[in-house]
Amino acid sequence: MRQVPKKNRNYLVVGNGKMARHLSTYFDLLNLPYHSWWRSSGENIYKKLLNSEKVLVAISDDAITKFTSSLVKEFPQKTFIHFSGLLCVPGVESAHPLMTFSNKLYDLNTYLKIPFVTEKKQKPFKELFPELKNRSIAINSEIKPFYHAWCSIAGNFTTALWTVFFKRMHKIGINKELCFPYMTGTMDNLFNQKNPLTGPLARKDLDIIKAHKKCLKNDPYHLVYEAMEKAMKAEGQI
């Protein structure tokens, strides 16, 4: 992390996981000064808090409430901000990045394109992070579970499906690299076509669908195939 004078740092980044590392990298690329603290750092968090105005709680969801519950009372003049897409924590602002984060750190252009989702009736994103140029949108607090569930379906579930797809293809002698054009073509359709859905379900090709179900009978993902067929019919996609 970039060394800057210890005083006059507006932000304190709490944590050393993916979210904290990406935040720190983003701030470094913008030349924004900040403190950092994590539980095993051996440093005194209270000293860091005294020299910071905003506390960025970039830790796991199940630790946020416990970590902030007493501190927001001890330091009412500080602004505490968490990054959970699900939680609404008393006394703590929220700004969820609508993005997936890996161990690989991004470049400045990528960070600038990440939109943030905040809560209505809380401080707007531009007030929380006046130095950041990211787009933002505020949603009602009560729909955050719905919002985050769909983020998980769209991001985590599809990642699981592609991972299993690569494994199944490898099993029959088709390596991962050969699958990339199919993957990128699918993404291109999704971004650029009004009706991106293709294949036997979209065409209602019953014989092929029947053959699919038969060959997947002993594969755990046959349940996914059948569930998706049912859900797509209910949604009017097929």
Domain ranges of the chain: 11-139, 147-235
d(CA 60, CA 187): 30
- H/E stretch holding 116 reads strand 116-119
User: pLDDT tens, 177-225?
Assistant: 999 999 999 999 999 999 999 999 999 999 999 999 999 999 999 999 9
pLDDT exceeds 90 at position 161: yes
DSSP 2: -
Quick check: 136 and 112 in contact, CB under 8 A? no
User: pLDDT tens, 31-65?
Assistant: 999 999 999 999 999 999 999 999 999 999 999 99
Locate all alpha helices (DSSP H) within the chain, ordered by sequence: 18-30, 45-50, 61-74, 108-112, 125-128, 144-152, 158-171, 176-192, 200-203, 206-215, 222-235
What mean pLDDT is reported for the chain? 95
Fold of 11-139: Rossmann fold (3.40.50)
pLDDT exceeds 70 at position 6: no
The predicted pLDDT at position 24 comes to 98
pLDDT average, residue stretch 1-23: 79
Quick check: 103 and 92 in contact, CB under 8 A? no
Cβ burial, residue 129 (10 Å; 0-12/13-18/19+): buried
Fold of 147-235: N-(1-d-carboxylethyl)-l-norvaline Dehydrogenase; domain 2 (1.10.1040)
User: pLDDT tens, 69-92?
Assistant: 999 999 999 999 999 999 999 999
The predicted pLDDT at position 3 comes to 44
pLDDT exceeds 80 at position 130: yes
User: pLDDT tens, 89-114?
Assistant: 999 999 999 999 999 999 999 999 99
Please give the radius of gyration of the chain, using alpha carbons only, rounded to the nearest integer: 22
